[in-house]
Amino acid sequence: MEKIKNIALVAHDNRKKDLIEWVEWNHTSLVEHKLICTGTTGKMVEQALKRKLADERHDLDITKLKSGPLGGDQQLGAMIAEGKVDIIIFLWDPMQPQPHDVDVKALLRIAVLYNIPTACNRATADFIVSSSLIGREYIPVTKDYEAYIKRDVDLG
């Protein structure tokens, strides 16, 4: 990971308000990094940061993907597999079933597979963004899954 991180920000509808409050609280740290957002979340994050930075000169670097149910979760998963995401802040709603639960599960699985720091609640997001590692280069330890692939090919 480079010093400037690629941070994905995702929130289910019932958690968008929480994410925006978190973004506003952490705006000084977040604007130093590249942000990746799904759907409506990206528009809301951009608006919130522009409000917070009204008197400051900052070029916001926000990539906006499709809405989660329309493929945004899968776009983000592909970016993880391509090494284009360093951190995920994904505030999902554990009390509300989602029509795209399978996509959400796949996204979380790929994040674990590629050893991406992932926060699913505000407390963990606070710990990640306040870590001394957020503003430095970092080389995460990754697991070599070649043995799994070879085993599956041999069994197939």
pLDDT at 153 (0 to 100): 61
Query: In whole angstroms, what separates CA 5 from the centre of its chain?
Result: 11
Euclidean distance between CA atoms 110 and 151, whole angstroms: 20
* Average pLDDT estimate for 1-12: 94
At residue 156, the pLDDT reads 58
State pLDDT tens for residues 102-151.
888 899 999 999 999 999 999 999 999 999 999 999 998 888 877 777 66
Taking all residues of the chain, what is their mean pLDDT, rounded to a whole number? 89
The beta-strand segments (E) located in the chain are: 6-11, 34-38, 62-65, 87-91, 118-119
The pLDDT tens digits for 30-84 are 999 999 999 899 999 999 999 988 877 777 889 999 998 888 989 999 999 999 9
Is 80 exceeded by the pLDDT of residue 15?
yes
Domain 6-155 has CATH 3.40.640.10: no
Is-catalytic flag, 55?
no
Yes or no: say if 51 and 23 are a contact pair by the CB < 8 Å rule.
no
Tokens representing residue 106 in the block? 């796949």
| Extents of the domains making up the chain | 6-155
Q: What is the band of 97 on the pLDDT scale with cuts at 50, 70, 90? A: confident
Sheet containing 6-11: order of strands: 62-65, 34-38, 6-11, 87-91, 118-119
Going through 66-148 in order, the beta strands assigned E by DSSP cover: 87-91, 118-119
Q: What is the pLDDT of residue 151?
A: 67
Q: Contact 76/8 with Cβ under 8 angstroms?
A: yes
The one catalytic residue among 18, 55, 59, 73 = 73
pTM (two decimals): 0.89
